[in-house]
C-alpha cells in the first residue's frame, strides 16, 4: 500500500525568536527556479558558444549525473548525520530535522538563497579547476539538476502525483519519511540508492520475489 501523509498541510513551528531570522527561514518553493533559471540559461549559452553540440550535451548530462550523486551524498551523509552534542543536534534540526518532524511545512522545503548561491559559486570554481573549457556546460546540467530536485521534492509533498513516474517518485519519497528514513535518500531519482543498496524494503522484497519466480 502507498505510504500516506499523517500531518496537516500547514503544520510547522517557529525556528527563531528573532522575527527577522524567522522571516528568512521561510522560503517560497519557486525561489530556486527564479534564482537559478538565468544562470542555467547563461551557462548553457556560454557552453553553446565554446563547444560543439555533442560536447555541450555530453557535459550537460555529466553535470546532471554529478548533481544526482551530490543530492544523494548530502541527503545521506550530511542531512542524516546523527550528532551527539546538543549544539550539533540543534544545527541538525535547523537544517533537516524540522523537515522530518513537519514534512508538510511548504515553506521550509528548499535551501535559503544565502546558502544556495555561495554553494553554487563554490561548485562552479571547483568544476572550473577540473574541467576548464567544459565548465559551463557541466555547471548548467548540475544547476538544472538542483532546480529539478527542489521542484520534485516540493511536488512529492504537495502535489497529487497520481499516476506514472510521478506517483512512483512520490511514494518512494514519502516512504522515506514515514517508513524508513535510513533508505530512499534519492529524491529526484533512485539511481544511487540502487548503487549503494539503500533502496527501501518494499523494492528489495519485490526484487526477491521476482528472483524466485521460475519462468514457465
- How confident is the model at residue 25, as a pLDDT? 81
* Residue 84 burial class via C-beta count within 10 angstroms: exposed 0-12, middle 13-18, buried 19 and up: exposed
- How confident is the model at residue 210, as a pLDDT? 62
Q: Per-residue pLDDT averaged across 22-50, rounded?
A: 94
Q: Per-residue pLDDT averaged across 73-83, rounded?
A: 94
Domain count, the chain: 1
Residue 60 lies in a domain: yes
* Banded model confidence at residue 4, pLDDT cuts 50, 70, 90: very low
- How confident is the model at residue 213, as a pLDDT? 57
Greater model confidence, 147 or 114: 147
Enclosing domain of residue 77: 19-212
Q: What is the pLDDT of residues 148-162, one digit of tens each?
A: 999 999 999 999 999
Residue 199 lies in a domain: yes
Measured between its terminal Cα atoms, the distance across the chain in Å is: 28
- How confident is the model at residue 102, as a pLDDT? 87
Asked whether residue 64 carries a pLDDT value surpassing 50, the answer given is yes
- How confident is the model at residue 2, as a pLDDT? 39
Residue 1 lies in a domain: no
- How confident is the model at residue 128, as a pLDDT? 97
- How confident is the model at residue 91, as a pLDDT? 87
Nearest-CA neighbor of 26 among 108, 115, 116, 90? 108
- How confident is the model at residue 209, as a pLDDT? 64
Q: Per-residue pLDDT averaged across 120-126, rounded?
A: 98
Q: Are 183 and 193 in contact (CB under 8 A)?
A: yes
Asked whether residue 26 carries a pLDDT value surpassing 60, the answer given is yes
Residue 13 lies in a domain: no
The three three-digit cell numbers of residue 32, written as one number? 530556486
Residue 27 lies in a domain: yes
DSSP per residue over the chain, as a string?
Answer: ------S-TT------SSHHHHHHT---TTHHHHHHHHHHHHHHHHHHHHS-HHHHHHHHHHHHHHHHHHHHHIIIIIIT----SHHHHHHHIIIIIHHHHSTT-TTSSS--HHHHHHHHHHHHHHHHHHHGGGHHHHHHHHHHHHHHHHHHHHHHHHS---SHHHHHHHHHHHHHHHT-TTS---SS--HHHHHTT---HHHHHHHHHHHHPPP-
* Banded model confidence at residue 17, pLDDT cuts 50, 70, 90: confident
Greater model confidence, 200 or 10: 200
Residue 160 lies in a domain: yes
Q: What is the mean pLDDT of the chain?
A: 89
Residue 31 lies in a domain: yes
Residue 7 lies in a domain: no
> What is this structure's pTM?
0.88
Asked whether residue 141 carries a pLDDT value surpassing 80, the answer given is yes
Amino acid at each position: 500500500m502507498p505510504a500516506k501523509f499523517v500531518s496537516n498541510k500547514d503544520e510547522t513551528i517557529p525556528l527563531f525568536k528573532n522575527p527577522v531570522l524567522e522571516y528568512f527561514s521561510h522560503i517560497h518553493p519557486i525561489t530556486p527556479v527564479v534564482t537559478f533559471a538565468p544562470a542555467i540559461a547563461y551557462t548553457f549559452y556560454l557552453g553553446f558558444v565554446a563547444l560543439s553540440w555533442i560536447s555541450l550535451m555530453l557535459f550537460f548530462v555529466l553535470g546532471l549525473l554529478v548533481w544526482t550523486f551530490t543530492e544523494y551524498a548530502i541527503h545521506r551523509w550530511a542531512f542524516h548525520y546523527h550528532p551527539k552534542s546538543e549544539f550539533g543536534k540543534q544545527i541538525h534540526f535547523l537544517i533537516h530535522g524540522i523537515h522530518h518532524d513537519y514534512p508538510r511545512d511548504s515553506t521550509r522545503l528548499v535551501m535559503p538563497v544565502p546558502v544556495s548561491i555561495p554553494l553554487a559559486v563554490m561548485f562552479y570554481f571547483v568544476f572550473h579547476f577540473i574541467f576548464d573549457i567544459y565548465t559551463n556546460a557541466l555547471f548548467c546540467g548540475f544547476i538544472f539538476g538542483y532546480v529539478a530536485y527542489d521542484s520534485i521534492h516540493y511536488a512529492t509533498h504537495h502535489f497529487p502525483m497520481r499516476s506514472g513516474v510521478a506517483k512512483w517518485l512520490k511514494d518512494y519519497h514519502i516512504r522515506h519519511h514515514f517508513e524508513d528514513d535510513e533508505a530512499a535518500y534519492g529524491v529526484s531519482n533512485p539511481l544511487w540508492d540502487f548503487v549503494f543498496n539503500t533502496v527501501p524494503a518494499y523494492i528489495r522484497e519485490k526484487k526477491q520475489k521476482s528472483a524466485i519466480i521460475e519462468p514457465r
